[in-house]
A and B are shown apart, each in its own frame.
Chain A
């Protein structure tokens, strides 16, 4: 009888990712909460700002602050089920590389953020956005959402990995994530501003470069440090 071979990183990642997405499909919690949060936040902004329509820097601020806060909900839930139901222990007992957990969790969070990001952008354009972006501006905005969500997913997974072992999990997630996301939010709001302005504008490459640098650095950091977070 031959000994069972340990799963490869790819098959372990695929298994965890499948588990995460199946869990959300069977009992939708995180995605619906994030989407509802965004819609509610836009309504609150309408009354708090006293405006029917926003544009330019204000529009970029409203959209990205809402998405960043919605992301906190997703980050906060990222490891909760695994911790409470023993999934984390099960994974650690399996002879699978730890990086598989990082990649699967970050991909799950990225998928959630992308769905919520595109949903929020559409809802925002209907409810609050004054100018109507043209096709190329929508494409630029979509590129920004992808790059920003990638950064949020990487930082978020790292933070969720740290916060899950703490007593004050929700508090630690929020106070750690928000300062870490500031450079990303600076870049993405500045880049979005001309796209949401009357008359329109184009995407500034330096902000894209900064977003790319942010994603790269935190990707490498998450890869290098994640093993230390799931040692026991």
Chain B
């Protein structure tokens, strides 16, 4: 008998409220507290969205790879679901980072796309690679094999990301605004508070959306299991091919 309490939805309201508060505060700080940047003017404000989006995207891809390793080691399908969700949402955040980066490029250099900008170019390559994750999953029918092959892909792609950044950076002159040095002290204090708030806000948004997706998938699986247990034999639709992981209910 499936459990009625959703495994992934327990802390969802708390995360959602925290996200709303922190993100609103971060936007407020970015627009009303942080000073206007001397060189780029108001257009620099997009930095408070673009950079956190990029950082969270990379973090999401890395976690997708880590969950994939855990899946390969344990065979636990929950890790596959986590890996899938992290990569799925990171891909959406990656589109956000590319679009905001492009807008920033237009404002700063007058062009929608700049090939001399290694970080943006690296992001495009990473985006193209991770775009193949869903088609790969979708083209394998057996759920166990789908999860295993997707995990292998996630590990390979996770290792590819830093290698790709090195290659693209070596091949391009450096013109991206260096807002953070390794010690993080190149950003004035007012800007730093707004920037860190934005990072926390976007991270919370990412976690909330991931939890929401996992919760929704889990609830749908529970509903299907309940329908089956109520004796709907013959009437239930045949399981369709899907890129999403098949959830095993205990």
Does A165 touch B at the CB level, under 8 Å? yes
B173 → A minimal CB distance (Å)? 13
Does A1 touch B at the CB level, under 8 Å? no
Tell me which of A172, A187, A232 contacts B132 (CB under 8 A): A172
> Do A221 and B145 touch across chains, with their CB atoms under 8 A apart?
no
Residues in chain B near residue A136, CB distance under 8 A:
none
Number of interface residues of B (CB under 8 A): 28
> Do B139 and A179 touch across chains, with their CB atoms under 8 A apart?
no
Does B156 touch A at the CB level, under 8 Å? yes
Does A69 touch B at the CB level, under 8 Å? no
- Of A17-25, A58-66, A223-231, the segment with at least 4 beta carbons within 8 Å of chain B is A223-231
> Do B128 and A179 touch across chains, with their CB atoms under 8 A apart?
yes
Given contacts A166-B140, A225-B152, contact A179 B167 (CB under 8 A): no
Number of interface residues of A (CB under 8 A): 31
Does B248 touch A at the CB level, under 8 Å? no
Closest to A162 in B: B149
> Do A228 and B152 touch across chains, with their CB atoms under 8 A apart?
yes
Residues in chain B near residue A217, CB distance under 8 A:
159, 163
> Do A179 and B141 touch across chains, with their CB atoms under 8 A apart?
no
> Do B171 and A225 touch across chains, with their CB atoms under 8 A apart?
no
> Do B164 and A183 touch across chains, with their CB atoms under 8 A apart?
yes
Question: Is the contact region of chain A dominated by helix, strand, or loop, or is it mixed?
Answer: helix
A88 to B8, CA, bound (A): 40
Interface residues of B in 71-115 (CB under 8 A from A): 72
Interface residues of B in 129-165 (CB under 8 A from A): 129, 131-132, 135-136, 139-141, 145, 148-149, 151-153, 155-156, 159-160, 163-164
> Do A229 and B152 touch across chains, with their CB atoms under 8 A apart?
yes
Residues in chain A near residue B135, CB distance under 8 A:
168, 171-172, 175
Interface residues of B in 29-73 (CB under 8 A from A): 72
Does B174 touch A at the CB level, under 8 Å? no
Tell me which of B152, B156, B163 contacts A183 (CB under 8 A): B163
Binding site for A on B (CB under 8 A): 72, 125, 128-129, 131-132, 135-136, 139-141, 145, 148-149, 151-153, 155-156, 159-160, 163-164, 166-168, 170-171
